[in-house]
Chains A and B, each alone.
Chain A
Amino acid sequence: MNDRDWARSAREGDEEAFAQLVRRHSGGLHRAVARVLADDSEAWDVVQMAFLKAWQRLDRYDPRYSFSTWIYRIGTNLAIDLLRSRSSRERTHKAGTEHRLRLVGAGEGAGSRAEGHEADRILNQVIEVLTPQQRSAFVLREMQGLETAEVAEVLGCSATTVRNHIFQARKALRREMRRRFPEYAPASERG
């Protein structure tokens, strides 16, 4: 069975079918929401809330569209609401130690895996410079691998707006990374 079949059964009241959808999509949604919020445990609360909301609104789900996009939309909107409701003090994420070890000589695969973890650690420290919309667009497109049209569907805006959010996000992240992590300054400036 695919997502649409599970969703159809769930809409008829089949809880187990809905549980299958939760099993299939909660991991990816959690990863996205955790990156947007820069908070791993709070993200699980948002994910649960998103699925509960989806269950209550299954009659509004249009099976012509992907269930994944629909649940990402609900989860991302909840995360954006949460970000907006946080006070500026709470929003300032507890920045850990700001250092980066240049990964050299660890082998191709090992290097990219280690950089994958490094990416999340650094993101948590610099994402605060982005607006909620920029965070969501950047995380979904650049880190979760959604297509621009899907991100536009999730955020309820045009593809052009998504590209603009990502362009601004990249610019802000580039500046912030170079400011806080000298290792990421251009080689010509590192001397």
Chain B
Amino acid sequence: MNCNVFREMLDPYIEDSLEEERRRWFRGHLRECSSCRDWALDRDPSLLFAVADAAPADPAPAEACAAAVSAQIRQQRLSKRLHHRRRPWLAAAAAAVVAVSGGLAWRTILGDGGSPGRPEIEAQNESDTATSPPTIEVEMAGDDVRVYQFAADGDDDTAVYFVVNPAMEL
């Protein structure tokens, strides 16, 4: 009886004109009844794909995926925070560099009696600081977040390195 009904429903199924409930019944019967399955596959082999597994039973990959996505979200949040705070921090750092270099230049001028070339060097330092800000790189390593600040062009000896606790509010 069921097999006859199933066979009558083949064409409407293929045309996608069955109601959802009847469609589910058709797919269930296709899965369960081997003689109807062979009969249907003989008419349209693409029906084989209707008996494919719908969803995986193993939760492990889903858990691993959730952990990976969470880690990426945290990294993005941290990068965003650093980005937001970068400008004032860089401005303060740049100001400090200018002040130190200015002080050094001033001491040099006072020390050697005021060479006319020295103020030009001071001006050049200010210009370099303004146009070539240090670059910052963020790196995730286990539970740590490593933040590198590299000095401006031409200063290969200077590199500042921080290890940041991710739980810390930046």
Contacts and interface: CB of A to CB of B under 8 A. Distances in A.
B48 A108 contact: no
Interface stretch (A48-56, A59-67, A83-91): A48-56
B54 A145 contact: yes
Interface in A159-191: 163, 166-167, 169-170, 173-174, 177-178, 181, 184, 186-187
Contact of B66 (A22, A35, A120): A22
Interface stretch (B26-34, B139-147, B149-157, B159-167): B26-34
B83 interface: no
Interface centre among B33, B41, B52 (most CB of A within 10 A): B52
Contacts, number: 128
Given A22-B66, A26-B65, A111-B34, A15 B74 contact: yes
A181 B45 CA distance: 10
B30 to A, nearest CB: 8
Contacts of A42: none
A144 interface: yes
B1 interface: no
Contact of A15 (B32, B58, B70): B70
Given A15-B74, A177-B45, A52 B56 contact: no
A117 B61 CA distance: 19
Given A26-B61, A27-B61, A174-B45, A143 B52 contact: yes
A18 interface: yes
B51 interface: yes
B55 A119 contact: no
A28 interface: yes
Contact of B53 (A56, A111, A116, A174): A116
A47 B49 contact: no
A145 B30 CA distance: 14
B8 interface: no
A160 B70 CA distance: 38
A54 B74 CA distance: 15
Interface of A: 15, 18-20, 22-24, 26-28, 30-31, 35, 44, 47-48, 51-52, 55-56, 103, 108-109, 111-113, 115-120, 122-123, 138, 141-145, 147-148, 163, 166-167, 169-170, 173-174, 177-178, 181, 184, 186-187
12 contacts: A23-B63, A30-B65, A48-B68, A48-B72, A55-B69, A55-B73, A116-B51, A119-B52, A145-B27, A170-B46, A173-B49, A177-B46
Interface of B: 14-16, 20, 27, 31-34, 37, 41-46, 48-56, 58-59, 61-63, 65-70, 72-74, 76
